[in-house]
Every structure is written in structure tokens, then in C-alpha cells.
Structure 1
């Protein structure tokens, strides 16, 4: 779902140019005031020239975002708090790559990106409202839900050495100290601590073994492409009662359905545009909302 956050091309700084006239612009209309936006010894660049150039290059993307923002915000409510929460989540997911992704998408700051993020959230939300889910689907999702866990591991390249370490653990030796002594990855200095992680973050073999442990339990030897692991489960989040998280789970199920079928959002947005009687009067942009059958 969230792969569209950086999909709209650069040009948000020019929204003011696109929307400089409350009336739609058609081919025969002219901008009355030729405001100069840049000068040089070889000639000036006017607002009209800049507008026309940007309309050709980015016009449909910008117009689409502006119209979506106006139409969808009249049907769907997105609060500033929700937008900020999603932005924080995106930053956490991308980590140090966030700033690079932002710049590569043509945004210089969060303030420039937030309008685009808001529109994408409006699209997501209107798609989710078009989805129907049953109580059976919600309960099944809840039953299969894997919450974050915290684990430590000892990783070695040799199976025989792994067996020897496992024997030491069975005799009561300290897991953290053995990890510092034998483990071959960067977690060794922290006693093998992997911190918290959720489903999909580790290799399948590792994840399956870790999620089958109880707190304080040590796994058998687990082989992955990196070598041989011995895993200690140190903590885990407990599920809240079903009735307390019903609405949250329901939203997650709906969101997963939308993620699995992008046409849900497309259809919902097109219906909203149809209800709003959107018409594009500028001939160069007339196909902005045209969809193929």
C-alpha cells in the first residue's frame, strides 16, 4: 500500500502556479500578468513560460494530487496526528535512507512531502472503506498474528562447534558469555542480543524456531545460510484480548486486502471523482483522469 508515497513526481513547489487562478485554464485563455520569475542578460523567464513548461512535464501529476486532495478530503477525514504518525513510521522504516528517498523524489523537506503523504493516505482510507471483512476473517487473522519478540543468538560456522556450545549451555553456562566468546557476528559484543523484531525480519528457519520458544528457553541448533544458530528467547509481546483489539485487527485486515488488490483504491477514487463531477477544462491536461477500460 505504501509504495506510492514517493511515486508522485517533483513539482509540489509549483502548486501555487497551477492554482494561481480559481477558474480552470483552457487553451484560449492567457495569463494576464506576465510576472517575471527569473532574469538574465539573455532574456527573462515569465510566470507563463514557467507554468507552461511545468504543466507539460508535471502537470497531470500535480493536478491529480490537487483534485484528489479537494475531493477526497470532503469524504474522508485525515487528522494532522494521523499524518504525523505515518510520517514517523515511514522514517523509522527507511531509517537513514529516508532523506535520500525524499530528495530523490523531489522534496526538500517534510513540509513539502506532507501534502503528498496526506493525499496517499486519503486514497488508502477511501479504499479501505470500500472493503468488507467478516468476523471470521478478523478472528483468523488474530489467531495467526505474530507479535514482536526479543531474542539473542550464538552464530558459528561449524556444526560441531555449535554442538559443543549447546552442550555447555545444557550444563548451565551463561548464554551471554558464550555468545561473546564464540559468536561470529556483530551481536557478539552484546551477548548475542538481537533486540526486538517481528515477523518477516529474519530468515524463515530462524524466525520459525524463535517464535516456537518460550521466554528463557534455548533452541536446538538452527541452520541457515549464515551458519549455525543457537537462539535464546528473552522477551515477547503478549496478545491483548480479542475484543480489545477488534477494531485495530479489522483495519489491518482491510488494509491487507487493499494492498493485495490495487484496483480497490483505483475504483474507489474514480467513484469519488465521478460523484464530484470533476471536469478538466485545460486541453493539455484533459486526459489527466482518463482511465482505460
Structure 2
């Protein structure tokens, strides 16, 4: 009975977290409809709108240019989270391809691919992303490229290990004996059996990439003004933090909440999809 209760709680948490992630995506898509003001609408002609605290008119207050912070936070869901999703998607595609080929064929192909992967893994990810973002033009594109270069090796290593384990099993040997092509064997038989840890890792990594994106934006290496990016908004609030607390608080909370949602999603998916997982039973 207790185990069934734990299972129901797990499903409930998964539903709630998934709903939260879908809500973030909906906000990103519908920001122009949901936002009460345009993201770049200033109040420079009306000084009464500049640096106003949260109120019924401006829920999150206004910034130094009289822009509505609530509207900019909503529009910000189209920048940082979108960059994070794109980085994880491209890194997943590249890393999965490298890992599948290396783990399936082995030999010198495995050695070459994994040594190249090790070169990227030898440098701390955030430091490498910082160096690349400094060289590339500031903006979402440069930020995406810099983070993708640093993120794909982790997927390559993960997939390579899973693929090497799956490749030695009887059903893959049977595929070869039946004369199935390498591509069909990889896509239809090897990849599905190695995809569970990928799904969990990718869900968690969206939160990690969002934090890295916000950190680089805070350093001025991401989207440039007047783009409503959460990390950039926090950076621009530094001079006002002790007096106009709302300028950095609400974008910072948005980063924290969205990152936590994806971290929790990965954790819940691991508990649900890991065959070795057993629900904790309360005495």
C-alpha cells in the first residue's frame, strides 16, 4: 500500500513538473499576448514611470528607462530558456552521433573519437565557453555556439558507454547475423536501448545550460541591450540593487525557478525510467 502511494506521489510530481515546464514554454510563445506592455516601451517622456516599485499597474515595477519589468521578464523566457534548449538539442545530436559510432564500431574509430572528446573535456566547461564567447560576436548565436562546443562531449561519453554495453548483447549479434545494415541496427536497436540516460541527462542539462547562459549574459557576452534577457537584466540592476530591489530580484527568481524545474524534471524522470529504481517505502 505504501509502495503504491509512493508511486502515485511520483506520478503527481511528474505531472506537476511537466506542467510547469509546459507553462514556461507557453509563456515564451505567448509573451507578446501576455505582456501588458511591449518589452522596449520606455517611459522617458514620463518621469513618473521611471524606477517605480511593484504596483497594480506595474506588477514587477519599472526600470531606469521606465520599462515594465514584468513584461520584460515574460519576454525573457524567449531568450535564455530558448538558448538552453537549442544548446542541449544540438549537443545531444552531435554527442549521440559521435558516441554511437565510437561505441558500436570500437577499434581505432573509438580511439580517435574519444581522444578528441577528451581534449574538450580536459578544459573546464564554463571556462572554455567563456573563452569562446569572448572570441565570438556577443549575442544569442555566439552564446549558443560557445555552449554547444563545451556541452556535446558529455553526451558523447555517456552514449559511447551505453552503446558499448548494448553492442555486446545477443540481440545485436543477431542483427549482424541476419545481415541488417549498421545504420538500421544503430537506429532501431542500439539507440532505443541507450536512450533512457540521455533523456534524463538532457532534461537536467537544460537547467544547467540556462545558468551558464545567464552567467555569460551577466558578463556581457550574451544578448545585448535592449534585449530582455534575464541574465542581462540582473547585470543592469547592480547599481540599483540596494534601493530598487525589484530590478534584479524578479529576473533572478525567473532564472532560479526555471532552472529548478528542469533539474527536478530530470530527477523525476530518472526515478521513473531507471529500471533499478525502487520507490522509497515509508515505515
TM-score in terms of structure 2 length? 0.30
Greater percentage in strand: 1
Structure whose alpha-carbon radius of gyration is higher: 1
